[in-house]
Amino acid sequence: MILLTGGAGFIGSNLLGALAGAGTEVAIVDRLRDGTKWRNIARHAVSEIVEPDALWDFIGTEPPIAAVVHLGAISATTATDGDLVARTNLTLSQRLWEWCTDAEIPFAYASSAATFGDGSQGFDDAFSADALARLRPLNLYGWSKHAFDRWVERQLHEGRAAPPAWLGLKFFNVYGPNEYHKGAMVSVVKVKHDEFAAGRPARLFRSDRPELADGQQKRDFIWVGDCVAVLGWWLAHRDPPSGLFNLGTGQARSYRDLVSALARAMQVEDRVDWIDMPAALRGQYQSFTEARMDRLRQAGFTAPFTTLEDGIAHYVQVLRSGEPYV
């Protein structure tokens, strides 16, 4: 059995679909709450749905767990409750790491490109105390993920026991099916799709940097299927590599590129309305992200990543199909 926290969420439900489709038994830890989040898992066989408050009772009584994939988190970059974010994103991750260590079970977890802050230190996933100490996340969410990365490094540096294999993934800008419950945190691809679908121009922020033209803010956008492929590769590995790795495509693309790719895929006019960046985002907005991917490649993941154009074209097909959940 694979224990998957956040299994009804965006990346989690896509991973659930791949694992369940291959016949793997999966127990998910998540809250479905009101709304449509349940649709993310409706098509897949789930062994158990465990509420987070019942997690420790569950893992103490269940048959052997083959691996823990910890994707559950408060992922809103606008979150402000520091105590809640610390409990959810840091303390729980620490407890799961320690449990996997004691049980000798592989442990994978979600970090984030938000740990890199404004990008002034680059996007190198070097795993050392000095390299991590140089990073300055811009928001509470990024800090919480960074705090756990640093805690893991310290555990290992001090020679403390660890899971037999562990994987941290610094997810960059993920987009694709099953993200619809995320509200304001939905991907920019989905937001711009919906604007075009409503017959409106795509709205893009004007640049808040004098050296950067409007629409030339760039991000490393990654198709959710590629994230699932990396996690599936690691889980299927007989001797999985341990480490903290970036997970993007390695190629930054502009927001203007993204809108043009959407217009082509949707066969609509490529129109943009330029708007000022909200005051709440100024100073917290990453104008450039690009994952350094050589370390994951050296660890053995060799499959190609989906181009922005191909990922968007596939996403548009899914959204048009009448069955947008996968």
- pLDDT value, residue 272: 98
Cβ-contact 152, 97 below 8 angstroms: yes
Q: What share of the chain is helix, strand, coil (3-state, %, to 5)?
A: 40, 15, 40
- pLDDT value, residue 281: 74
- pLDDT value, residue 286: 72
Report d(CA 281, CA 109) in Å as an integer: 27
Whichever domain contains 164, its CATH number is: 3.40.50.720
- pLDDT value, residue 77: 87
Q: Which residues contact 284 (CB under 8 A, 6 or more apart)?
A: 77, 138, 139
Confirm whether 284 is domain-assigned: no
- pLDDT value, residue 255: 97
Confirm whether 89 is domain-assigned: yes
In this structure, what DSSP letter does residue 53 have? G
Residue 112: give the domain boundaries.
Answer: 2-176+221-250+291-297
- Neighbour-count burial of 281, counting CB atoms closer than 10 A to its CB (0-12 exposed, 13-18 middle, 19+ buried): middle
Total domains in the chain come to 1
**37 in catalytic set:** no
Which residue numbers in the chain have pLDDT < 70?
62-63, 283-284
What are the pLDDT digits (tens) for 144-196? 999 999 999 999 999 999 999 999 999 999 999 999 999 999 999 999 999 99
Confirm whether 71 is domain-assigned: yes
> What's the per-residue H, E or C state across 183-195?
HHHCCHHHHHHHH
**141 in catalytic set:** yes
User: Which residue out of 141, 175, 255, 285 is catalytically annotated?
Assistant: 141
* Backbone φ/ψ region at 250: left (φ over 0), alpha (ψ -120 to 50), beta: left
- pLDDT value, residue 210: 85
Confirm whether 28 is domain-assigned: yes
β-bridge pairing 67-70 and 166-171: unpaired
Report d(CA 302, CA 293) in Å as an integer: 11
Confirm whether 120 is domain-assigned: yes
